[in-house]
Amino acid sequence: MSGATTILRCNICDILIEQIEVAQHVAGRNHGIKKKVAEFQEMNALVRKQYENDVSIASAWIRNLHERDFLSSGRA
Protein backbone atom coordinates (compact mmCIF):
# COMPACT_ATOMS: atom_id res chain seq x y z
CA MET A 1 0.00 0.00 0.00
CA SER A 2 1.39 3.39 -0.96
CA GLY A 3 1.56 6.42 1.27
CA ALA A 4 -0.42 8.56 -1.20
CA THR A 5 -2.71 11.08 0.39
CA THR A 6 -6.18 11.70 -0.99
CA ILE A 7 -7.10 15.38 -1.19
CA LEU A 8 -10.77 16.34 -1.10
CA ARG A 9 -12.57 19.63 -1.56
CA CYS A 10 -15.11 20.73 1.04
CA ASN A 11 -18.01 22.08 -1.02
CA ILE A 12 -19.22 24.13 1.97
CA CYS A 13 -15.93 25.88 2.78
CA ASP A 14 -14.44 25.61 -0.72
CA ILE A 15 -11.08 24.44 0.59
CA LEU A 16 -8.90 21.40 -0.03
CA ILE A 17 -8.36 19.00 2.87
CA GLU A 18 -6.68 15.65 3.29
CA GLN A 19 -9.03 12.68 3.57
CA ILE A 20 -7.63 11.84 6.99
CA GLU A 21 -8.69 15.31 8.27
CA VAL A 22 -12.29 15.23 7.02
CA ALA A 23 -13.89 14.25 10.34
CA GLN A 24 -11.99 16.97 12.20
CA HIS A 25 -12.88 19.56 9.56
CA VAL A 26 -16.59 18.69 9.54
CA ALA A 27 -16.71 18.89 13.34
CA GLY A 28 -15.10 22.34 13.30
CA ARG A 29 -16.98 25.52 14.15
CA ASN A 30 -16.21 27.35 10.89
CA HIS A 31 -17.54 24.50 8.76
CA GLY A 32 -20.66 24.22 10.94
CA ILE A 33 -21.47 27.91 10.63
CA LYS A 34 -20.94 27.96 6.87
CA LYS A 35 -23.12 24.85 6.52
CA LYS A 36 -25.98 26.45 8.48
CA VAL A 37 -25.75 29.62 6.37
CA ALA A 38 -25.82 27.56 3.15
CA GLU A 39 -28.84 25.56 4.38
CA PHE A 40 -30.66 28.75 5.38
CA GLN A 41 -30.02 30.35 1.97
CA GLU A 42 -31.21 27.23 0.17
CA MET A 43 -34.37 27.10 2.28
CA ASN A 44 -35.11 30.77 1.57
CA ALA A 45 -34.64 30.25 -2.16
CA LEU A 46 -37.12 27.37 -2.12
CA VAL A 47 -39.68 29.32 -0.07
CA ARG A 48 -39.42 32.38 -2.34
CA LYS A 49 -40.17 30.22 -5.41
CA GLN A 50 -43.08 28.56 -3.63
CA TYR A 51 -44.80 31.88 -2.82
CA GLU A 52 -43.74 33.84 -5.90
CA ASN A 53 -47.28 33.96 -7.35
CA ASP A 54 -49.11 33.78 -4.05
CA VAL A 55 -52.48 35.52 -3.99
CA SER A 56 -53.38 34.75 -0.38
CA ILE A 57 -55.01 37.28 1.90
CA ALA A 58 -51.85 37.51 4.01
CA SER A 59 -49.60 38.27 1.05
CA ALA A 60 -52.05 40.86 -0.30
CA TRP A 61 -52.19 42.49 3.12
CA ILE A 62 -48.39 42.64 3.34
CA ARG A 63 -48.10 44.12 -0.17
CA ASN A 64 -50.67 46.82 0.65
CA LEU A 65 -49.42 47.85 4.10
CA HIS A 66 -47.83 50.98 2.68
CA GLU A 67 -51.17 52.19 1.23
CA ARG A 68 -53.09 52.47 4.50
CA ASP A 69 -52.13 53.42 8.01
CA PHE A 70 -54.67 51.53 10.13
CA LEU A 71 -53.02 52.28 13.46
CA SER A 72 -53.10 56.06 13.31
CA SER A 73 -56.53 56.41 11.65
CA GLY A 74 -58.25 53.86 13.86
CA ARG A 75 -60.36 52.59 10.99
CA ALA A 76 -60.09 50.17 8.09
The answer to whether residue 52 scores a pLDDT higher than 90 is: no
The answer to whether residue 39 scores a pLDDT higher than 70 is: yes
- Residue 2 included in any domain: no
Judge contact between 14 and 37, C-beta under 8 A. no
- Residue 1 included in any domain: no
Report the alpha-carbon distance of residue 68 to residue 76 in Å, rounded: 8
- Residue 30 included in any domain: yes
Mean pLDDT value across residues 24-36: 94
In this prediction, what percent of the chain has a pLDDT beyond 90? Answer: 41
Domain count, the chain: 1
Report the alpha-carbon distance of residue 10 to residue 26 in Å, rounded: 9
Whole-prediction pTM: 0.55
Mean pLDDT value across residues 27-34: 94
Report the alpha-carbon distance of residue 66 to residue 10 in Å, rounded: 45
